[in-house]
């Protein structure tokens, strides 16, 4: 059957699809396709292997045609896909959870460390030739070891971050989630608390929620004002979960100490003024960008397509809730 891959991904998954006997076309353009290009390319295919930069809605699904069985997103998040439109057309949606959990948790930890210890700022300072010798007050940051980490959204990635922080850095773990995790609580002494308590008492706050109507601008002026002035805020989830203008103000006014963001509200554009601030570390949506994670995401996306085209339930079927 025909599979269209909207952008080049690691070869392993493409090989699996070919070995399963499918006809695979990979977009030759090393950029996101326009709506028109996407509509044209998906016409007549049974499966689409999509990127989080592809908006998949009724227009694209209808352009594909009634034979379309599955859209396999090359990401754990799937806010780029309209699940209702897919369900109405009986198109299965899959994602790539688990295989990127550790990579993203590592990056969240790296951003915490980088913002707390002013690593990027120190690097810029050193490269600019500003170092004149050891100084008692040069680039002072915040301790990480033994501090309190507040995790908003304790799914796979949030839990993986919690374990790193508790076991490696003796941090006290607070979290806010609809579901408490008794097993994790027993293992590392974590505690599910109200959002306000988490915001007021955490030294580090890391966000791990999906982008939903209910999580859009979950962090805005009010939330930043509730945080400690010494707090470090980290976002590796989705940009629009944070009101970026409010984050800019909070960093400027000193409502918080620093921030590390891997996802931006208006990707690929950064809110004006953010890049001039010394106390934010910015990575370009690369939290899952390890060689291992990306190879595994390719494999998992292919396995989801192969199962769906056999008429089986794919391993990572996303359900409409
Ligand atoms: C990346 O943001 C992903 O959802 O996999
Ligand atoms: C999100 O989907 C996660 O894996 O935490």
pLDDT in tens, 122-171: 999 999 999 999 999 999 999 999 999 999 999 999 999 999 999 999 99
Give me the pLDDT at residue 144, please: 98
- pLDDT over 70, % of the chain: 100
- pLDDT, the chain, mean: 98
What's the confidence (pLDDT) of residue 321?
74
Ligand 1 within 6 A of CB of 52? yes
Domains 2-99+291-309 and 101-282 fall in the same CATH topology = yes
226-235 residue pLDDT tens: 999 999 999 9
**Predicted pLDDT of residue 107:** 98
Asked if pLDDT for residue 307 goes beyond 90, the answer is yes
Would you say residue 193 has pLDDT above 80? yes
Question: What CATH number does domain 2-99+291-309 carry, 3.40.50.720, 3.40.50.410, 3.10.105.10, 3.90.226.10?
Answer: 3.40.50.720
Residue 226 DSSP SS3: helix
From 162, 208, 287, 288, mutation site for ligand 2 pocket: most ligand atoms within 8 A of C-beta: 208
Phi, psi dihedral angles at 242 (to 5 degrees): -115, 135
Q: Is the CB of 191 under 6 A from ligand 2?
A: no
Q: What is the mean pLDDT of residues 53-70?
A: 98
DSSP codes, 90-117: T-EEE---STTHHHHHHHHHHHHHHHHT
Mean pLDDT of 235-243: 98
The reply to whether ligand 2 has any atom less than 6 angstroms from the CB of 156 is yes
Residues 118, 238, 265, 303: which is the catalytic one?
238
Q: Are 259 and 234 in contact (CB under 8 A)?
A: yes
HSE at residue 14, side-chain half, CA atoms within 13 A, is 13
**Domain limits, the chain:** 2-99+291-309, 101-282
Active site residue 217: no
What Å distances lie between residue 311 and 88, 238, 283, 308, CA to CA?
A: 18, 32, 39, 5
Please tell me the predicted confidence (pLDDT) of residue 320: 84
CATH H-level, domain 101-282: superfamily: NAD(P)-binding Rossmann-like Domain (3.40.50.720)
Q: For 274-295, how does the pLDDT look when each residue is reduced to its tens digit (9 = 90+)?
A: 999 999 999 999 999 999 999 9
- pLDDT at 73 exceeding the cut of 90: yes
What mean pLDDT comes out for the span 258-271?
98
């Amino acid at each position: 059957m025909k599979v269209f891959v909207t952008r080049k991904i690691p070869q392993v998954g493409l090989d699996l699809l070919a070995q399963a006997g499918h006809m695979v076309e990979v977009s030759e353009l090393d950029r996101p396709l326009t709506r028109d290009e996407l509509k044209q390319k998906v016409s007549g295919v049974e499966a689409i292997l999509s990127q989080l930069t592809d908006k998949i809605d009724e227009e694209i699904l209808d352009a594909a045609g009634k034979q379309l069985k599955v859209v396999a997103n090359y990401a754990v998040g799937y806010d780029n896909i309209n699940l209702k439109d897919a369900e109405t057309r009986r198109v299965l949606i899959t994602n790539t959870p688990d295989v990127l959990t550790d990579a993203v948790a590592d990056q969240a930890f790296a951003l915490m460390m980088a913002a707390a210890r002013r690593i990027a700022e120190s690097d810029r300072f050193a490269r600019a030739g500003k170092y004149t010798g050891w100084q008692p007050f040069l680039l002072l940051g915040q301790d990480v070891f033994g501090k309190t980490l507040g995790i908003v959204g304790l799914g796979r990635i949030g839990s993986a971050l919690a374990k790193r922080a508790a076991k490696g850095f003796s941090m006290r773990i607070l979290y806010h989630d609809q579901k408490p995790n008794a097993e994790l609580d027993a293992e590392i002494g974590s505690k599910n608390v109200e959002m306000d308590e988490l915001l007021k008492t955490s030294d580090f706050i890391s966000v791990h929620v999906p982008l939903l109507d209910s999580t859009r601008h979950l962090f805005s002026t009010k939330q930043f004002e509730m945080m400690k002035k010494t707090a470090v805020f980290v976002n590796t989830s989705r940009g629009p979960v944070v009101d970026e203008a409010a984050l800019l103000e909070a960093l400027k006014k000193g409502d918080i100490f620093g921030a590390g963001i891997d996802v931006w509200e208006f990707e690929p554009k950064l809110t004006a003024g953010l890049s001039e601030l010394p106390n934010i570390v910015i990575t370009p949506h690369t939290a899952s960008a390890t060689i291992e994670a990306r190879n595994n995401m390719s494999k998992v996306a292919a396995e989801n397509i192969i199962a769906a085209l056999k008429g089986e339930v794919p391993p990572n079927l996303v359900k409409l809730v």
